[in-house]
């Protein structure tokens, strides 16, 4: 299929000063699951199956590199209390753990699929899904298995919080996470994650969890520096994490460590929005030379939105990113955070994952916040929304 008459095409293939490789009056040829040709519409190869984009903008599909979608129940009451002044704390996770353990496989699967569809309708073509609301060997393995039904990007987050039944025996829980639980989950997962924060796991504990995962062939990532300053970022960089996520409270040393590493700083502005917290400073990270991604962190506690267009708008309005930087971070940045080199750009050989916007430019994603601007979505060359 040839998509032609694209008013503004964002390829993410750098061209001169333009990191997003913008082509105006463009066309894209899709063959099977892959992109076959990209260039000016006037030079496009002749094709019988033609889709006229009508001057609309086309961008790579969003790569949402951080989401918690295997869960039951919601915490609207907690959100309401927070909006009346009760601060966010890591402990709310245990409520979702109780609801998730009590849910049937089918109930979890239905909720997961509903959310993945919701993401697709908003332009997300790749999503990472974490475990972390089971916290028993059986429930974590079940979450990973269900997640693997909908995405190859599955993360083991047994170290989300110490479950209530281990409150007096943290070390025993760590033995479980780094032993039998890891054994049961690793076959279904690609990454290992840990919530390194006051109220969750210490830097030493985080190191132990990530090291165990690495030994099992998993790629490390981390929740760090969300609720206050700490050693999370330094541990993540030292362990070669693909990404450290949240990065809300960073010291100059943290920024320098990220800038001098391959570890992506993944910012999750929906969390600050939904917990009424100060936003991370993306400008400082980008100016220092760090690679920045943005993701939804969709979860029932700290941020119950799956909207990547909203993340782009928040990144621009609240984190001092330009619209182009935010779109890059939500596409190519997410691909870097997942260490994928076949998504996040529109170029020959890449997967045919792209979004036609109901707008003439990508800037409209931030310029028209809250407006449904997703016209159509292709994943592996197939329309999914
Ligand atoms: O990324 N930080 C840890 N996990 C989630 C919150 C999960 C919850 O509150 O249920 C987060 O914000
Ligand atoms: Fe998270």
**Which residues lie with the beta carbon below 6 Å from any ligand 1 atom?**
68, 92-93, 96, 195, 223, 226, 271, 297, 299-302
Nearest CA to ligand 1 atom 6: 302
3-state secondary structure 225-245: CCCCCCCHHHHHHHCCCCEEE
Question: Cβ contacts of residue 57 below 8 Å, gap of 6+?
Answer: 6, 7, 8, 9, 10, 356, 357, 359, 360, 361, 362, 364
| Cα(223) to centroid(ligand 2), Å | 6
| Cα(195) to centroid(ligand 1), Å | 8
Residue 96 CA: which ligand is closest? 1
pTM of the model: 0.98
Task: Per-residue pLDDT tens, the chain, 385 aa: give them.
Answer: 999 999 999 999 999 999 999 999 999 999 999 999 999 999 999 999 999 999 999 999 999 999 999 999 999 999 999 999 998 877 789 999 999 999 999 999 999 999 999 999 999 999 999 999 999 999 999 999 999 999 999 999 999 999 999 999 999 999 999 999 999 999 999 999 999 999 999 999 999 999 999 999 999 999 999 999 999 999 999 999 999 999 999 999 999 999 999 999 999 999 999 999 999 999 999 999 999 999 999 999 999 999 999 999 999 999 999 999 999 999 999 999 999 999 999 999 999 999 999 999 999 999 999 999 999 999 999 999 9
Nearest CA to ligand 1 atom 3: 195
| Cα(91) to centroid(ligand 1), Å | 9
User: Contact at 8 Å (CB) between 321 and 282?
Assistant: yes
Question: What local confidence, expressed as pLDDT, does residue 331 receive?
Answer: 99
| Cα(109) to centroid(ligand 2), Å | 20
96: tokens are 């979702």
Q: Of ligand 1's atoms, which has the minimum distance to the CA of residue 75?
A: 10
Q: Of ligand 1's atoms, which has the minimum distance to the CA of residue 88?
A: 9
DSSP assignments along 243-310, one per residue: EEEE--S--HHHHHHHHTSS-EEEE-HHHHHHHT-PPP-HHHHHHHT--EEE---BBTTTB----HHH
Question: What local confidence, expressed as pLDDT, does residue 89 receive?
Answer: 79
Domains of the chain: 2-60+344-383 (2.30.40.10), 62-337 (3.20.20.140)
Question: What local confidence, expressed as pLDDT, does residue 88 receive?
Answer: 82
Nearest CA to ligand 1 atom 11: 302
- The environment of the single-atom ion ligand 2, i.e. residues with CB closer than 5 A, is 297
Question: To test the ligand 1 pocket, which listed residue (66, 93, 198) has its Cβ within 8 A of the most ligand atoms?
Answer: 93
Distance CA 296, CA 333 (A): 13
218: three-class secondary structure by DSSP: coil
| Cα(87) to centroid(ligand 2), Å | 17
Question: To test the ligand 1 pocket, which listed residue (68, 266, 267) has its Cβ within 8 A of the most ligand atoms?
Answer: 68
Strands ordered across the beta sheet of 292-294: 129-130, 154-159, 191-196, 219-224, 243-246, 264-267, 292-294
Nearest CA to ligand 1 atom 9: 301
Q: How much is the CA Rg of the chain, to the nearest whole Å? A: 20
Nearest CA to ligand 1 atom 12: 302
């Amino acid at each position: 299929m040839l998509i032609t008459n694209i008013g503004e095409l964002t390829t993410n293939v750098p061209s001169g000063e333009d990191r997003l490789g913008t082509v105006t009056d463009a066309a894209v040829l899709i063959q099977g699951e892959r992109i076959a040709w990209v260039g000016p519409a006037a030079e496009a190869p002749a094709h019988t199956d033609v889709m006229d984009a009508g001057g609309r903008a086309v961008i790579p599909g969003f790569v949402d590199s951080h989401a918690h979608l295997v869960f039951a129940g919601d915490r609207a009451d907690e959100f309401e209390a927070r909006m009346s002044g009760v601060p966010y704390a890591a402990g709310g996770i245990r409520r979702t753990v109780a609801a998730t353990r009590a849910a049937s496989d089918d109930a979890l699967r239905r909720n997961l699929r509903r959310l993945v569809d919701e993401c697709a309708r908003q332009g997300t073509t790749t999503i990472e899904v974490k475990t972390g609301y089971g916290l028993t060997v059986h429930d974590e393995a079940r979450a990973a298995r269900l997640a693997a039904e909908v995405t190859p990007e599955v993360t083991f987050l047994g170290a989300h919080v110490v479950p209530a039944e281990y409150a007096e025996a943290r070390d025993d829980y760590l033995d479980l996470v780094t032993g039998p639980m890891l054994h049961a989950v690793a076959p279904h997962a690609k990454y290992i994650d840990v919530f390194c924060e006051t109220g969750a796991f210490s830097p030493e504990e985080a190191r132990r969890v990530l090291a165990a995962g690495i030994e099992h062939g998993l790629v490390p990532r981390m929740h760090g520096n969300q609720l206050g300053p700490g050693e999370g970022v330094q541990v993540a960089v030292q362990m070669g994490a693909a990404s450290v996520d949240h990065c809300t409270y960073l010291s100059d040393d943290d920024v320098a460590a990220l800038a001098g590493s391959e570890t992506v700083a993944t910012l999750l502005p929906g969390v600050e929005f939904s917990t009424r917290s100060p936003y991370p400073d993306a400008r400082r990270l980008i100016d220092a030379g760090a690679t920045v991604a943005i993701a939804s962190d969709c979860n029932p506690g700290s941020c119950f939105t799956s909207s990547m267009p909203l993340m782009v708008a928040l990144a621009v309005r609240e984190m001092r990113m330009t619209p182009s930087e935010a779109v890059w971070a939500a596409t190519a940045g997410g691909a870097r955070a997942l260490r994928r080199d076949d998504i996040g750009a529109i170029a020959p050989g890449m997967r045919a994952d792209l979004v036609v916007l109901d707008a003439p430019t990508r800037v409209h994603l931030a310029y028209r916040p809250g407006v449904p601007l997703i016209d159509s979505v292709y994943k592996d060359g197939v329309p999914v929304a």
